[in-house]
Copies of this chain bind each other. A is one copy, B any other.
Amino acid sequence: MLWRDLKAWQVYGANTDVGKTIVSTILCRVLQRRAPPNGLLYLKPVSTGPQAEADDRHITRYVPGIKSRCISQFSQPLSPHLAAQLDGPSSIPTSDASIVAQVKDLLSQHSQAGGRYAVLETAGGVLSPAPSGSVQADLYRPLRLPTLLVGDSKLGGISTTVAAFESLHVRGYDLDSVVLFDDPKWANHGYLEAHFARHGIPTLALPPPPARRDDPKDDEAVLADYYQACSESASLTDLVDSLQRRHFARVSKLTSMPSQAEAVIWHPFRQHGIPHNIIAIDSAYGDHFQAYNQESDLGLGTPTASALTGLTPLAAQPPAKPLLTPLFDASASWWTQGLGHGNPELALTAAHAAGRYGHVMFAHAVHEPALDIAYNLLSTLQNPRLGRVFFSDNGSTGMEVAVKMALRASSQRYGWNKDDDRGQTPVAILGLKGSYHGDTIGVMNCSEPNVYNEKVDWHQPWGHWFDPPTLLLRNGVWELSLPDEMRPACAVQKFPSLDALFDFPARADDAARYEEHIKTTLDTLVRHQGRRFGALILEPLLMGAGGMFFVDPLFQRSLITVVRSNPELVGSTIHPGSQGEGESKTKREPNNQDWSGLPVIADEVFTGLYRLGRASSSSFLASPTDVVPSTSTSTQQSTSQLQPQPQPPLPAAIAPDISVHAKLLTAGLLPLALTTASEAIFQTFLSSSKTDALLHGHSYTAHPIGCMVANKALDEYRRMDTDGSWDGFRHSWPSSSPSESDPSSSTPPSANVYSFWPLPFVTALSHHPRLRGCFALGTVLVLKLASEGSGYTSTATSSLQSRLLTLLDSDGCGIHSRVLGDIIYFMTSLTTTQKQVERLTKTIMEALNEE
Contacts and interface: CB of A to CB of B under 8 A. Distances in A.
A81, A350, A668 pick with most chain B CB within 10 angstroms = A350
For the complex of A and B, list the 9 residue pairs with the smallest distance between their C-beta atoms, beginning with the closest.
Answer: A268-B697, A125-B159, A441-B442, A16-B156, A172-B356, A172-B355, A351-B351, A347-B354, A273-B686
Contact of A701 (B268, B353, B695): B268
Counting every copy of the chain, the complex holds 2
A462 B691 CA distance: 21
A685 B400 CA distance: 26
Contact of A357 (B284, B378, B395, B696): B284
A531 interface: no
Interface in A338-362: 340-344, 346-348, 350-362
Contact of A700 (B158, B336, B440): B336
Nearest to A78: B186
A457 interface: yes
A403 B458 contact: yes
A455 interface: yes
Interface string A256-293: 01101101111111111110111111111000010100
B267 A329 contact: no
B169 A348 contact: yes
A793 B638 CA distance: 35
A394 B700 contact: yes
B289 A360 contact: yes
Given A366-B280, A374-B265, A441-B442, A699 B662 contact: yes
Interface string A38-80: 0000000000000000000000000000000000000000110
Given A359-B670, A705-B705, 15 more contacts: A124-B158, A127-B160, A128-B158, A169-B355, A172-B356, A173-B355, A276-B364, A279-B365, A282-B368, A334-B361, A347-B352, A440-B442, A451-B691, A671-B699, A671-B703
A361 B691 contact: no
A320 interface: no
A267, A370, A686 pick with most chain B CB within 10 angstroms = A267
A110 interface: no
A653 interface: no
A102 interface: no
A691 B792 CA distance: 9
Nearest to A174: B356
Interface in A149-192: 155-156, 158-160, 162-164, 166-167, 169-173, 186-187, 191
A635 interface: yes
Interface band, chain A: 35 or more
Interface in A378-399: 378, 387-391, 393-397
Contact of A699 (B291, B336, B363): B336
B442 A458 contact: yes
A785 to B, nearest CB: 17
A396 B397 contact: yes
A694 interface: yes
A84 to B, nearest CB: 13
A360 B284 contact: yes
Contacts of A638: 260, 263
A337 interface: yes
22 contacts: A78-B186, A79-B187, A124-B159, A133-B191, A159-B164, A173-B355, A173-B356, A261-B371, A273-B685, A273-B689, A279-B365, A331-B361, A343-B358, A347-B355, A363-B818, A394-B397, A394-B699, A396-B440, A400-B440, A418-B454, A451-B691, A455-B695
A441 B26 CA distance: 64
Interface in A399-437: 400, 403-404, 407-408, 411, 416, 418, 426-427
B364 A172 contact: no
B273 A366 contact: no
Interface string A607-641: 00000000000000000000000000001001000
